[in-house]
Amino acid sequence: MTRLIASDLDGTFLQTGGTVSPENVAAISRAHANGLETIFVTGRPTRWMRQITEMTGHEGLALVCNGALLMDLKTQETIYAELLSADAGLQAAAALQELDPDISFAVELDRHDVSFLVDDKYKPRWEIKNTPPATDVEDMFATEIVVKLLARPSDRIQQNADEFLVEAQKALDGIVDVTHSNFMDLMIEMSALGINKGSGLEKFAISKSMTAPDVAAIGDMPNDVSMVAWAGRGAAVENAHEWVKTAATEHVPSNDDHGVAVFIDRILAG
C-alpha cells in the first residue's frame, strides 16, 4: 500500500511555463487528509525552492539537486547533503574537456549566501539577479561544499541533450552520476557517484521505515528515471521523455492536464 508520494516539479507537478496547477495542489491536500506523506524530488537547487513554498503552500520536505540534498521548505535549511568530492569533480571536468575543450562549468553549493558559482564561459539558461564572479573549476571544488556540477557544451557539439548525455555517461562511468533534466537544453548535471533521485528517495523512505512498495513516484525527464523505476508505483506524465515512459508502470495525463492529481486520486481510490 502506498504511504509516500514523490513528485518531480518542472514538467510534472508544475504546468508548462512553471505555473502552479491548483488541481495538483488540491490533490496534495487530499493525500495528506488521507494519511499519505508527500515530498517533492527535483533537480532544482535550494535557491529555486522558496518560490515553490509560496506557490504551493507546501511547507514539508524536499529532495533537491537530483536527490543529493534534503531540505526543510519552511525553514529553507539543509537537513543533509551528499557532497561531490573535489577528486571526483575535477576528474569529471577533465574527462568532459576531452570531449569538448570549450565546455563550461558551474556548481551548486550547500550554503545560503553565494550558492551558485560559474566559470567565465558558462551561460545560465535562466536569468539570475546576481551572477557571481567567474571562477575556475579548481576554486569551485576548493569550497568543499559542492552538491552538483553542471556542464554546458560549446557550440562545437552538434548533438542533442540525449546524445551528449550518452557520450558523457561513457566518459564519466565510475566517476560521478550524470543525467539531464531538459531535452531542449544542452546541459548535463552531475552528482556524487551513486547519488540520484532514486537513491535520494530510497534513503528518505528508509528513514521513514518504508520500502519501495510503500512509495509512489511521478516524473517526466531522464533525471526522474531512477526514482520512477525504484518506487513500487512509478508513473510518467503524458509529456514525459520516452525513457521515463519506459521505466514507468503507470501513465497519466500531461502536466498541463494535472497528471499528478490524476495519479494521487488513482492511489486514493485504490
Tens of pLDDT, residue by residue over 145-192, are 999 999 999 998 889 999 999 999 999 999 999 999 998 889 999 999
Q: Is residue 249 within 8 Å of residue 235, measured between CB atoms? A: yes
Q: Provide the whole-model pTM.
A: 0.96
59-109, pLDDT tens digit by residue? 899 999 999 999 999 999 999 999 999 999 999 999 999 999 999 999 999
Q: How far is CA 185 from CA 89, 159, 217, 227, in A?
A: 22, 11, 24, 22
What does CATH list as the number for 4-81+196-269?
A: 3.40.50.1000
Name the band, by pLDDT with cuts 50, 70 and 90, for residue 127. Answer: low
* Strands of 215-219's sheet in order across: 77-81, 69-72, 61-64, 37-41, 4-7, 215-219, 233-237, 250-252
C-alpha cell at 115: 550558492
Q: Give the span between the Cα atoms of 88 and 265, in whole angstroms.
A: 42
17 class by beta-carbon count within 10 Å (0-12 exposed, 13-18 middle, 19+ buried): exposed
Q: How confident is the model at residue 129 (pLDDT cuts 50, 70, 90)?
A: low
Confidence class for position 264, pLDDT limits 50, 70, 90: very high
pLDDT in tens, 177-236: 999 999 888 999 999 999 999 999 999 999 999 999 999 999 999 999 999 999 999 999
Pick the CATH number of 86-192 from 3.30.1240.10, 3.20.20.70, 3.40.140.10, 3.40.50.150: 3.30.1240.10
> Domain boundaries in the chain?
4-81+196-269, 86-192
Residue 141 carries which side chain, given as an amino acid letter? F
